[in-house]
Chains A and B, each alone.
Chain A
Amino acid sequence: MIREQHDYDDIPGTFVFDQGRSRQGYGINMFCMSLMKEENRRAFKANEAEYLKQFKLTPEQTEAILKRDYNRMLELGGNIYFTAKLGATDGHSFQHLAALMTGSTQEDYANMMLAGGRSVEGVRSKSGKRAAAEPEQRPKWAKGTKRARPARRARLSGAARAAKPKARTRGKSRSKRG
């Protein structure tokens, strides 16, 4: 299957739950949702592979669920708020899952968080196009809004400024008279 490319695909270690993944992972997420009910949790635990047959899952998705490969579930269209319900069924906290996905122990992960979390430096961009923060970067669609104004003022400086307001007042007063 061909996945459309998006600007956020450049963010490392991140599976954005977008429309494409949502469509692809509908079965995974509906399975996770079913675990909100106690009787379903019990049925799943009794025979996992059998329980999963009720849902439309590809062999890869089934395998990822059975192996508790959380990153693979995300990649195949699962969403973290849904897959966390599978984690909770196994008796795991959110932080345990987070540690799993980062490939570290829960203790190391918790210590990293206490020390201020994972730094964004070096993990902004796969391509290296965005190595540093650019808070002033303007998206294309914002062109011509607020930032354009100083330029216009600058253009009016000097001789132009003297001429232009005059022309404007004259125009106004004329229209009033007429």
Chain B
Amino acid sequence: MARIIAGVSSSHVPAIGAAIDNHRTEEPYWRRVFSGFEKSKEWMAQAKPDVCIAVYNDHASAFSVEIVPTFALGCAAEFPPADEGWGPRPVPVVKGHPELAAHIAQSVILDEFDLTVVNKMEVDHGLTVPLNLLFGSPNEWPCPVIPLAVNVVLYPPPTGHRCFMLGRAIRKAVESYPEDLRVVVLGTGGMSHQISGPRAGLINSKFDKAFLDNLTKDPKKLMRMPHVEYMREAGAEGIEMVMWLVMRGALDDNVREVYRFYTVPASNTAVGHIILENKPRAPSRHAAPKRRAVRLKPAARRAAARARIDRVHG
């Protein structure tokens, strides 16, 4: 059985990609950003996922305004880096996992998530920058990556609740896949930033930190947050953070926060990053029958309660 072992979220600022491509990572400005991901690379190297599912958004590269799918699952064997106006990024072609992707599509559509199946797609910085941050700059990406493109460009994006529930459906799909695979779900985008209009440059660290706290402990609170709240507090483009909720929905309710990093700025954006691990499940969870609470008759229950009180106070 395949299973999701962890979720990792990270910003996907294009300028980070440009700094890597132009070998500027050692400049103090960029050093500050990249140093925050050293631990993450170590963690990734140890976690060694067999597959990553990367929740990201396209920035007018694969999808223009002609077709705008809300959720688009990459089911192809490979996804070349897109030319975003200055030539494709010099990063390896992203290899997909068509079998697992097809399985996920089949499962989540029957679970009433009407996503778009994409068999030909180029991927832009939204996907490749987080891969760089988590895997460095290898000649080949160390594992297959299934892209899940979410529309956060044309308002309205899917609600936080919908994103979270899609994560749930993806988890169910992964856990019903017969091959033993260790899967990591990546959420990308954010954190607070606004890159358009006279209010551009907005950063709200307080909001971002609360978001990270709630992502770990109380994601249901985030699920209810309306879009206008994201845009007002975290900037018009900060709404990308709903994608992190797909990642969170794919994890168990109780997770362990392994690592967190936050810095301002990278170009116009606050950079946030978090690693959440599923706690190991009890091996007997499915096998052992649930222990039934012993049923007592009302009189016996009152007697038992009295005995408990006596134990405490007596």
The chain A residues found within 8 Å of chain B, CB to CB, are 7-8, 11-19, 22, 26, 29-30, 32-33, 35-36, 71, 74, 79-82, 84-85, 88-89, 94-95, 97-98, 101-103, 109, 112-114, 116-120, 123-125, 130, 133, 135, 137-139, 142, 145-146, 166, 169
Contacts and interface: CB of A to CB of B under 8 A. Distances in A.
B65 interface: yes
Contact of B60 (A12, A82, A133): A82
Contacts of A138: 224
B210 interface: yes
B244 to A, nearest CB: 17
B232 A125 contact: yes
B59 interface: yes
A11 B231 contact: yes
A22 B199 contact: no
B232 A102 contact: no
27 contacts: A7-B228, A11-B228, A11-B236, A14-B236, A15-B196, A16-B155, A18-B154, A18-B156, A29-B60, A30-B66, A33-B65, A79-B153, A79-B196, A81-B59, A82-B64, A94-B14, A94-B268, A98-B195, A98-B200, A102-B198, A103-B198, A117-B202, A118-B194, A120-B202, A124-B233, A138-B224, A146-B220
Interface of B: 14-15, 59-60, 64-66, 83, 85-86, 153-156, 192, 194-207, 210, 220, 224, 226-229, 231-233, 236-237, 264-265, 267-268, 270, 298
A16 to B, nearest CB: 5
B16 to A, nearest CB: 12
B233 A88 contact: no
A25 to B, nearest CB: 8
The majority secondary structure among interface residues of chain B is loop
A74 B197 contact: yes
A74 B197 CA distance: 7
Contacts of A16: 155, 231, 236
Contacts of A109: 201
B298 A14 contact: no
Given A36-B83, A101-B200, A125-B232, 17 more contacts: A8-B155, A14-B199, A17-B154, A22-B65, A29-B60, A84-B85, A89-B85, A94-B15, A94-B268, A95-B15, A97-B195, A98-B196, A113-B268, A133-B206, A133-B233, A139-B226, A146-B220
B199 A11 contact: yes
Given A13-B199, A101-B200, A120-B207, A19 B155 contact: yes
Nearest to A41: B85
B198 A101 contact: yes
A33 B60 contact: yes
A88 B18 CA distance: 14
A11 B237 CA distance: 13
B26 to A, nearest CB: 18
Nearest to A117: B203
A101 B270 CA distance: 19
A139 B161 CA distance: 13
Contacts of B232: 8, 11, 120, 124-125, 130
B219 to A, nearest CB: 12
A102 B201 contact: yes
B65 A29 contact: yes
> Considering the complex of A and B, which 3 residue pairs feature the smallest CB-CB distances, nearest first?
A117-B203, A13-B199, A13-B198
Contacts of A112: 201
A124 B235 CA distance: 10
Nearest to A114: B265
Given A11-B231, A142-B224, A33 B201 contact: no
Contacts of A95: 15, 267-268
Nearest to B218: A146
B151 to A, nearest CB: 11
B215 to A, nearest CB: 14
